[in-house]
Structure 1
Amino acid sequence: MRNVLEKPKPFYEQSYHAIKRMIFEGKLKPGERIVEAKMAKELGVSKSPLREAIRVLEKEGLVVIDTRVMVYKPTIKDVEEIYFCRMALESFAAGLTTRIASAEELENIENILQKTEEAILQSMEQNVIIELNERFHELIIQYTQNNLLRKQLNDLKGLIYYFRILNFEGEKRAEHILEQHQQIFHHMKQRNDEQASKAMVHHLQLDLDHLVEVLSHNHEE
């Protein structure tokens, strides 16, 4: 059996992940300009793969290209529009998965909630808890077995994750979000699709309200 070496990722892909990480970690702030020459030097790449990475990030909505390249700065209107789309799609997903998911699939969702609770109790890093929260939503969508639904939400994935990070500001946010996820799952485990769907809408509405408050406060500073 021969060993097959993995090919290194193209420079544009490495640049894409590096800039995305900087945005998510807050090293690049909303509205901050990305100077191509400076960023290329920092990442050790030429301008060509950097520009390709920026085009991908623009497609995902994380950067804006006008006369300059800027990190996307969300407006309250943007947030409301995306959350209203999520409420429609994810409430449907919660109801459908409640009806058709296997016992094993429901157990997988429950395991994610248990891991989230353990991560909070152990005071793990914020990004670990955010990724577990994301996984909870992803499994519910995955188990609908509806590929078109998954594609529509996947197109918003970058912005949804970005909003999750911004939404984490505030006291006891991890605990509050976990409680809401547990409430959704309680109805799913009871196979009550209508209540699971309503609980998902309620959760996303609370998320939206909190994020609008965070953005309003940040805009005042």
Structure 2
Amino acid sequence: MRSVIEKPKPFYEQSYHAIKRMIFEGKLKPGERIAEAKLAKELGVSKSPLREAIRVLEKEGLIVIDSRVKVYQPTIKDVEEIYFCRMALESFAAGLTARIATAEELKTIEGVLQKTEEAILQSKEQNTIIELNDTFHDLIIQYTQNSLLRKQLNDLEGLIYYFRILNFEGEKRAEAILEQHREIFRHMKQRDDEQASKAMIRHLQLDLDHLTAVLSHQ
């Protein structure tokens, strides 16, 4: 049997994932200036791959470059615009997946909800629950079999995940979001595309309301 030796990932790619993780984990705060020399030293890379990673993160919207390099700081207007796009695209996705998803695909989505419930009951780390919530939405989009729809949402992926983290602030958020996901799935399992679509819009509107309140408080 032939053995395949995996090539190490380029430094810029490793830097990209490291910086993204630091933003998502709050080690780099919204609006915080990034000192390139200091960060390059911390990551153990030269400035060149670091700057390449920063350019990719700028395209994703997680870093802003004007006179300085800074971590993106969300505004209520930004959040509203992203969520209105999500409502249009993901409500369509929920309805379409309700119609065309296979029984096995629906079972996979249901499995994610079960894992989410278990993670909440076991008080697992918030990141684990956020990733499961992310998977729930991703599977619905994936099972539409619509590559253009997936591309449009993938372009917003970084900001959507960032907002999802901020949206977990507050008591019993995981439980509230899980219940809303269950409602969406219940209609999908019943093959009721109209109600699945409406349930997705209600869910995203509630997310938007909560996130707006969090940002207003901050």
Fold match by TM threshold 0.5:
yes
CA distance in 1, matches of 2:131, 2:80: 22
Query: Which letter maps to 1:28?
Result: L
Q: Which residue pairs with 2:153 in the alignment? A: 153
CA distance in 1, matches of 2:67, 2:38: 17
Report the Cα offset of residue 185 of structure 1.
0.4
Residue 78 (structure 2) pairs with residue 78 (structure 1): yes
Stretches of structure 1 that go unaligned for 5 or more consecutive residues are none
CA distance in 2, matches of 1:3, 1:112: 34
Q: Deviations over 1:73-130 (max 9, x none)?
A: 0000000000000000000000000001111111110000000000000000000000
**Length-normalised TM-score, structure 1:** 0.98
Residue 10 (structure 2) pairs with residue 10 (structure 1): yes
Q: Which residue pairs with 1:114 in the alignment? A: 114
Matches within 5 A, 1:89-108: 89-108=89-108
Q: Which residue pairs with 2:45 in the alignment? A: 45
Report the Cα offset of residue 4 of structure 1.
1.8
Q: Deviations over 1:171-210 (max 9, x none)?
A: 0000000000000001011111000000000000000000
Q: Deviations over 1:18-52 (max 9, x none)?
A: 00000000000000000101001111111000000
The alignment covers a number of residue pairs equal to 218
**3-state SS of the aligned residue for 2:64?**
strand
**3-state SS of the aligned residue for 1:128?**
helix
CA distance in 2, matches of 1:17, 1:27: 13
CA distance in 2, matches of 1:128, 1:44: 28
Report the Cα offset of residue 136 of structure 1.
0.3
Stretches of structure 2 that go unaligned for 5 or more consecutive residues are none
Query: Considering only aligned residues, what root-mean-square deviation do their CA atoms show, in Å?
Result: 0.5
Deviation above 4 Å: which 4+ runs of structure 1? none
Matches within 5 A, 1:122-141: 122-141=122-141
**Length-normalised TM-score, structure 2:** 0.99
